[in-house]
Amino acid sequence: MPEGRGPLRLSREEQLRVVGMHCATCATTVTKALKGVDGVVDANVNLASGTAKVVVSGARLRDLVEAVRRAGYDVVTERVRLRISMNPEDSRRVLDLLEGLEGVVRASVSPGTGEAVVEINPYSTSVEAIAEALTSRGFRASVESRAAPARRSELREYVRSLAVAWSFGPLTLFLQYTSRPLLAMMASAPVVFYAGLRYHLGAYRALRNRTTNMDTLVSTATLVAWLYSAYSLAAHGPVFFDAASLLISFLLIGKTIEAYIKERLSAEVAGLLPQRARVLRDGREVEVGADEVKVGDMLLVRAGETIAADGVVDDGKGEVEESVLTGEPMPVLKSKGSPVVGGSRLVSGFLKVYVTRSGERTYVAQLMTAVRDAEAARLRVQDLVDRVAAAFTPTIIAVAAVTFLAWHFALGAPTARALLFAVAVLASACPCALGLATPMAVLVSVHRLARRGVVVKDGEALERVRDVDVFVIDKTGTLTEGRPRVVSFTELEPGAMDLASSVEALSSHPVARAIAERFGGGLSGQVREFNEFPGDGVSGVVGDRQVIVGRPEFIAQNCEGEARGDVAVCVDGRVAGWLTLEDPVRPEAKELVGYLKGIGRRVIIATGDSGPSADLVASGLGVELVKGLTPDGKAELVRKLRGEGHRVAFIGDGVNDAVAEREADVGIALAGGTDIAKYAGDVIVGSLRGVEDLLRESRVAVRKVKENLAWAFGYNSVLVPLAAGMLYPAVYISPPYAALAMSMSSVIVSLWSLAPL
C-alpha cells in the first residue's frame, strides 16, 4: 500500500512501548517527536516504564511508530503471518480491513497465496483479536507463524557490555601503569568503542535531533579522554586511557543494576500467569502454552499450580489463594460452579476448570493494561523536572568548558590536568536521576498496590487522593455486604408482596433479589412491560395489575397513599404495602470510617435508601447521611461539595455509581467481579481495606517523589563543583569515580523508590 494512504487510526488513545530511552532528555526527545505528528493531541512519555501514552485525533499508528524510529529509538511491535481464506480479488478489501483495525501498524496481503503479514502493537491489540475481526467479516483467518514482540532485553545488552568492559578495563589499567601505553590504548578500544557504543550512538541521535542528553555527556567525556590520550601518546606526553575505559566500566555497573530493577518490576504482573497449562483435548491430558488456552477448554489444576485462565470449576474441590484479586492471602474453598481467576494459586485439592475468558480478556490481562496505563501518570511536579532536564545537559557542557578554561588559562594547570577536570564534570552530572525521580516512585507504588488487590487505572489519582478531604460513600453493597434481607413488611392489599416479588424477580439489584427470594416471585413468568428505573425502582404488569416497587419517594410521585418503609409497593395506582430491610455492615467498614476520621477526613454516606435502615447504618458508623438520592442526585452532591472548595472522593460499586465517580476528584470502585473494564473508578479495590492501602501508598509515593528529586538536585549541586576541582587538592574526584557516582545516583533513586517506607 502506498505511503500516506489508507484509513486513519482514529483511536482516542494509543500506548507504545519505547526502547532505548535512559535519561530525562531521551523522554523529552520522544515526546517532541510524537507531538510533531499531525493529529496528535498530546503525548506523555514515562522514562521508568518505557511507555508513551499518546492521545490522537486523526493520526495513524504507523506515523507514531515511524516518528519514534526517526528520532533514533524503537517501538515494541509484533509481526505475524496469517493464512486467510479469500479470493484474489478480495485482497484489497482485506488489506483495507487490516489497516483499519485498531493496533495495526502496517500490513501486506498476497493475492496469490492468501497470506498476510501484519505488524501490530501488542499493547493495544492481539493476534487473536486480528484473526477474530477478519473471521467476523467473512474471511476465515488462521495464524501461520508469529515472531515474539520485537523488544530487546535492555538488561541482557547491559550485561553483555558490562562483561566486555570489565574484561578489558582492568587490563587497560594494568598496562598503563606498567608503562605500556600502546597496549593500553589497544586494550581500552573495546571498552570505549564496543561497550560504550550505545552512548556514542545516543549522542549522534541527539545531535541529529538537535538536542543533548546523558549520552552526549558520556560520549564527549570518553572520546575527549581517549582521543587526547591517543594524540598525547604520539607526542610522547601523558595518557589516561584508563580514565576513558574505567569511566565506561563504572557507568555500566549502575546502568545494569537500574535495568535489572526495571525489568523485574515490568515482569512482576506479567509473571502472575504460568507459562504452561494442562488441558483436556480429545479426552487426553495435553500440556500447552498458557497463551494457547482457549475459551471452552478444560483446565486441569493440581495443588501448588497457578490457574492459567479465568473460568468456572466444572469438577473437583480445593482451596484457592486469590490475592491477585482481593489482596488477601487467605485461601477460599472452591467447588463445582465456583468462579476462579487466572493467576490464582490452588493451595490444596484438584480442580477441573472450564475456561470462560482467555488471552487479553482475562482478569490478569486487564490488570496488566490498567497497570501500564497508571505507570504513565504525570504528576504536577513533572513539568518543573522537564524544564530543568531540557536545560541540564547544555549547562553541564558549558560548565565543563569553563572548568577547562579556568584551570588551563587562569590557574596555569597543564592541558592534561585541566582536561581531566572537564571530563570529570561531564562524567559526574546525572540527568537520569531527575528523569527517574517521579515515574519510578509512581511505578513502584502502582505495582505494590496491584499486589494487594488495588488496581490503579489512573496513576495521577495517586496524587489527587492525597488531597481529598471529603469521602462520599455509597451504602448498599459498599459499606454494607450488598445482601439485604426482608425483616418485616406490611400489606395494605392482600397478595401485594407476591405481585411485588414477581416484578422484582426480573431485576438483578440486591434489594430486588432479597424481595424475590423472600416471597418467591412465582408470577414472574406473567410479567409484561417490565421497566427498571436506576436508583428508583421497577414496574411491570402482572396479569392485569399494574405494579410499581421502589423507594418511598418514587412511589409517592406515582401513586396515591402514604409510602413508608425502605421499599414501598404500589398496585393499580395506590400504595399497597411496604417492607423494612436489613443489610449487614461490612466488618471492614467501621475500620475504614475510623481510619478516615482519625486522619481528619469528613465522611458522608450517600444512598438511594430513604427508610430507617439508612439511618441505622449512619448512626452506627457515626457519620453524616444524605439519603433518598438517585444516581444523578449522588453526582449532584459531589458537584455541590466540589463547588464549596472540597476535594472529593466517591466510593461506590463502580457500575451504578459511575456518574458520581466520574464527577469526583477521585472515583474509587469496590469491585465485586473480575471485569476491570466495566468499572468506572480511577481506582478499583477488592475490599474497603484497599482504600486504606491506597491512601497510605499515596502519601508514600508523593513523599518518595519529593525525596528522589531532593536527592537528584542535591547530588548534582554537590558533585559537579567537586568534580570541577573546587576543593582540589583536598578533594579530587577522577573521571572514572565521577562516572560511578553518576550511575549510582539513578540506582539510588530506583532503590529508594522500592524501599517500603
Angle at 251 between CA 249 and CA 253, to 5 degrees: 75
Q: Which of 63, 474, 583, 609 is catalytic?
A: 474
pTM of the model: 0.74
Q: How far is CA 16 from CA 33, 73, 104, 372, in A?
A: 13, 12, 12, 10
Q: Look at residues 211, 710, 683, 251 and name the one whose alpha carbon lies nearest to residue 438.
A: 710
Q: What is the pLDDT of residue 650?
A: 94
Q: What is the pLDDT of residue 524?
A: 67
DSSP letter at 596 equals H
Q: Look at residues 133, 188, 181 and name the one whose alpha carbon lies nearest to residue 164.
A: 188
CA pair distance 653, 3, nearest whole angstrom:
48
Q: What is the pLDDT of residue 107?
A: 86
Look at the block and give the residue holding cell 583536598. 730
Q: What is the pLDDT of residue 538?
A: 92
DSSP letter at 585 equals B
All three cell numbers of 279: 488441558
Q: How far is CA 568 from CA 159, 207, 236, 334, 710, in A?
A: 71, 74, 102, 38, 61
H-type alpha helices, 429-559: 431-451, 461-464, 496-504, 510-519, 552-558
Q: Look at residues 544, 515, 546 and name the one whose alpha carbon lies nearest to residue 530.
A: 546
Within 8 A by CB and 6+ apart from 303, the residues are 318, 346, 347, 348, 349, 350
Q: For the chain (length 757 residues), average pLDDT per consecutive 10?
A: 39 78 77 88 81 84 88 84 76 83 85 78 83 83 64 76 92 89 94 91 81 82 90 86 88 82 70 82 86 87 89 90 76 88 88 86 77 71 75 88 93 90 87 78 86 84 92 88 86 91 87 88 79 87 90 90 90 92 87 93 88 84 89 90 94 77 89 61 86 92 89 88 91 86 83 79
H-type alpha helices, 631-734: 631-643, 658-663, 689-723
Within 8 A by CB and 6+ apart from 581, the residues are 484, 485, 486, 487, 511, 514, 566, 567, 611, 613
All three cell numbers of 289: 502454552
In degrees rounded to 5, what are phi and psi of residue 646? Answer: -85, 150
Per-residue pLDDT tens digits for 541-586:
988 889 999 989 899 989 999 988 889 999 999 999 999 888 888 8
Strand order in the sheet with 574-582: 485-491, 574-582, 567-571, 545-550, 537-542, 527-533
Indicate left, alpha or beta for 330 from its phi (over 0: left) and psi (-120 to 50: alpha).
Answer: beta
Is 474 one of the catalytic residues?
yes
